Structures are given as structure tokens and as C-alpha cells.
Amino acid sequence: MIFLLVQGIHLNGENQMGNITKLIFIKNAVETLGYFSGQLAAEMERLGFATYFIDYNCLFETVDGLARFAGRGDTALVTFNFIGLRGEEVFETAGEKSPGESRPGESSRRESGTVWEKYGIAVFNILVDHPLYYHKWLVNAPSDMKIFCIDREHVAYMRRFYRELPVKFLPLAGNVLYGNEPATIPYEKRKYDIVFTGNYTPVEHLYREIDGLEADYRKFYREIIEDLIAHPSTSVDDVMEAHIRRELGEVPDTDKRSAIAGMVFVDICVRSYFRGKIIRSLAESGVRIHVFGANWEKLCCDRAENIISTGREVDSKACVEAVRDARISLNIMPWFKDGAHDRIFTAMLQETVALTDDSRYLREEFTDGEDIVFFSLEERERLPELVHRLLEDETRAKRIAENGCRKAREKHTWSARARELQRELGE
């Protein structure tokens, strides 16, 4: 098999699907999303696509390189979370109008646009958070942009509030180490009992967003947060909408989506609340948990010595390395009720037990106690006992980890997602 690398362009075989034969990805804008892009690009190359990376570490040079790579009608941008589509100046361009396009008496003028429009590049945009985070870009998105969401509730939200945009469900996948993937570490020789990969933000810091508001607004937002904490199986937008309707009555969907988009901090508050509660409960029950991320020293805990922290934010490679050397990898879902987080699939691919709160999608894909272990946010006080049992019964835990690995390799790799994307590119 021939592999050619020239000025950031990768060619591998010949593409057999549709008109799109070239793909553009972005790296070094958001580290995690760049890691996803690198793994997805490698799999697309194996399917025969040529790939090109816009690199935020040498942004202007790699944007200029688009002229040598892109072809009108045969190239697509594959990005995450509107990176490259947020009106960034570097991606804007201006084209001189030809004299024939000017009306009599009118001088030639310049029309602004984007490099994607200039080169006729199709856009495939994967949202890894709830669409409420991206409202200001969604309302101005062109109708030919293809959107992918990682939770089926997010897809339903998009189809209701942004009907003009095509949207489909595309879960994330498990990460592995780049290059030659090292051999799996034997389960009984692993360094960590349980790990969590993610940062922490103290809820009291987030409440400052609310404390500066007028009394009526403070009451309104705090009631939504309290409702979500009391009913953690409900979707965040359903709870927000219920409170909006109770406060304002029936309002048009355009007003509802704007109001929901203005409550991003509510979603972040609830995520942080449960993240802190769960890590604290494990530590205070005697479980030594290694956390790979920033600000965990700010979590108030009676047995803080059981929270072993890196003391800083770590990159995706370090997260994979930590998970592959652990017996259990804990996931606390960022309020995905019909989707999955990549932490789950990453754990499985390392033959590590994936321990997570559930979702409808996960219940369809996996079986509790066979290839995954679920816990309930409503009954989170039972989690420490669940962890202790897994650590005490190594044979059972190892069997669950191996079964999860087989399932993830079948369906939840970036190779599998590349094949799904290939089908979309062919439509």
C-alpha cells in the first residue's frame, strides 16, 4: 500500500465513494477535538481519502495551503463544534468583483465570504455538546451544512428548533494511542484501581454567574438547577422549557431556543455538581481515585488524601495512557441521556472496566454487568460499594473489561465512525 505525505497532504489508495475525495481537518485549536480529528483522519485515509490539516499553531500558512489542496465539489471540511465556522477572521476572504458584474456607474467592489465558500468546500460539523451551546452559530448556519450530534436527544432538539439544518446521530468513538498501539497491560499488573479523566470547576464559582442577577432571575435559575439535581434522569432542555413555560406561558419556539441558549451556565453547574459529589463520595468511602485534570484540589473533601490528582490539565494522550493502566475508568456523563461519552469507549478499548451512569443509547448497546457497569445518579450513594465489589472480584472485573473491549472493537472505534461518515459523504 502506498502512503504519500506532501506538505500536510496524506494520500492513501484511491477513494471509491461519490464526488468527495478530499477532507480537511483542524488541529491545535481545542486539544481534545484535535485528537479526535487525528484519529478520524487516519481512518479516512485508510478508506482512500486524501486529508489536509489546518493547524492553529501555523494557522495562516496552512489556510493558505488550501489553494493547493481543495478542489471545487470534491472537498469537505470535517470539524467539531463550529471550529473554523465561527467567523474567525483567518477563514474569511474577499473576492474582487469583475467589471461585468458591476451595474453602470458603479465601481468594482469587494464581496466578503469564507474560504469554504471560495473553494466550494462542503461542511460536516460534529457537535460534541448540547446544541444550546452553539445557538448563535446555528441560527446563521447555511442550510447545506451537515450537522452531526452525539446524543439522539440533541438530534431531536435540532430538528425542532433548527429545522432547516440537516442533522444526524453520530456517536463519538474510543481513543487509542497514535502510531503502533502498545500491547495491553495485564489487568492484574495495572497501576491504578480507578481513574477519572476530566477537570473540575467548583460549583460555588459557577453560582457567581447567578449571584449578580436580580432577585427574580436568581430564583428562576436556582429553581432549574435544583430541579435537575433532584431529577437527574431528565434532559436539561426539557426541564428548562418546563420552567420557561411556567414563568412565561406559551412562547414561540424561536424565543424558547434563545432563552434555553442563555442558560449554558445551568448545564455547566449541574455537570460540576455531580462530578464533585461522586468523586467526593468515593474518596470519603475509602476508595483511592486518581484524577487526571485540573482544579481537583479545590474540591472540599473530608478525605482529600484519597483523591490523587495530577494538579493540572492533561492532554488526550495522557488520558489514554492513564486509562490503559487502570482497572476501572469512571465516567460521569455530561448530561447525555440518549448518547455516550468517548471516555466509555476509550476505557473499553484499553480492556478497562467502563463504569458510568447510563443512557437509553448505552442500555441498547451494552449489558450491565456483562460488558459495562452502570450506576444511577439517583442512587449514587451505592456507587462506593459497587466499586469495592469490582476491585475485590478481579476475575469478574477482568471478564467485564474483556467483553467490553470486544464490543467496542466491533462497533465503537474511529474506524467504525469513519465508515459511517464515508456513507454520508457519498450521499
Q: Has residue 97 got a pLDDT over 90?
A: no
Task: Tell me if 282 is assigned to some domain.
Answer: yes
CA–CA distance, 242 with 208 (Å, rounded to integer)? 24
What's the pTM? 0.90
pLDDT digits (tens, 9 = 90+) for 151-180: 999 999 999 999 999 999 999 999 999 766
Partners of 169 in the beta sheet? 149
Residues 240 and 137 in one domain: no
The count of structural domains within the chain is 3
Task: Tell me if 109 is assigned to some domain.
Answer: yes
pLDDT band at 401 (very low <50, low <70, confident <90, very high): very high
Among candidates 32, 31, 28, which has minimal Cα distance to 341?
32
Give the CATH number for residue 99: 3.40.50.2000
Task: Tell me if 180 is assigned to some domain.
Answer: no
Stretch 376-394: mean pLDDT: 96
pLDDT digits (tens, 9 = 90+) for 332-351: 999 999 999 999 999 999 99
Stretch 16-38: mean pLDDT: 90
Stretch 79-87: mean pLDDT: 97
Residues 236 and 271 in one domain: no
Residues 30 and 101 in one domain: yes
DSSP 248-307: H-S--HHHHHHHHHTTHHHHHHHHHHHHHHHHHHHHHTT--EEEESS-GGGS--TTGGGE
CA–CA distance, 148 with 158 (Å, rounded to integer)? 10
Residues 259 and 285 in one domain: no
Report the mean per-residue pLDDT for the chain: 91
Residue 254 belongs to domain spanning: 204-266
Residues 119 and 14 in one domain: yes
Residue 343, phi then psi, degrees to nearest 5: -55, -35
Task: Tell me if 300 is assigned to some domain.
Answer: yes
Residues 358 and 272 in one domain: yes
pLDDT given for residue 180 in this prediction = 67
Residues 224 and 296 in one domain: no
pLDDT band at 112 (very low <50, low <70, confident <90, very high): low
Contacts of 297 (CB under 8 A, 6+ apart): 304, 309, 311
Task: Tell me if 147 is assigned to some domain.
Answer: yes
Residues 399 and 288 in one domain: yes
Residues 305 and 317 in one domain: yes
Residue 184, phi then psi, degrees to nearest 5: -65, 135
pLDDT given for residue 94 in this prediction = 54
Name the DSSP letter for residue 151: B
Residues 215 and 278 in one domain: no
Task: Tell me if 333 is assigned to some domain.
Answer: yes
pLDDT given for residue 96 in this prediction = 38
Cβ pair 83, 29 in contact under 8 A: yes
pLDDT digits (tens, 9 = 90+) for 295-304: 999 999 999 9
pLDDT given for residue 206 in this prediction = 84
* Run of H or E including 375: strand 373-375
pLDDT given for residue 340 in this prediction = 98
pLDDT > 70 fraction of the chain, expressed in percent and rounded: 91
pLDDT given for residue 213 in this prediction = 85
Task: Tell me if 345 is assigned to some domain.
Answer: yes
Task: Tell me if 178 is assigned to some domain.
Answer: no
Lowest mean pLDDT among 95-104, 281-290, 358-367, 408-417: 95-104
CA–CA distance, 246 with 374 (Å, rounded to integer)? 34
pLDDT > 90 fraction of the chain, expressed in percent and rounded: 85
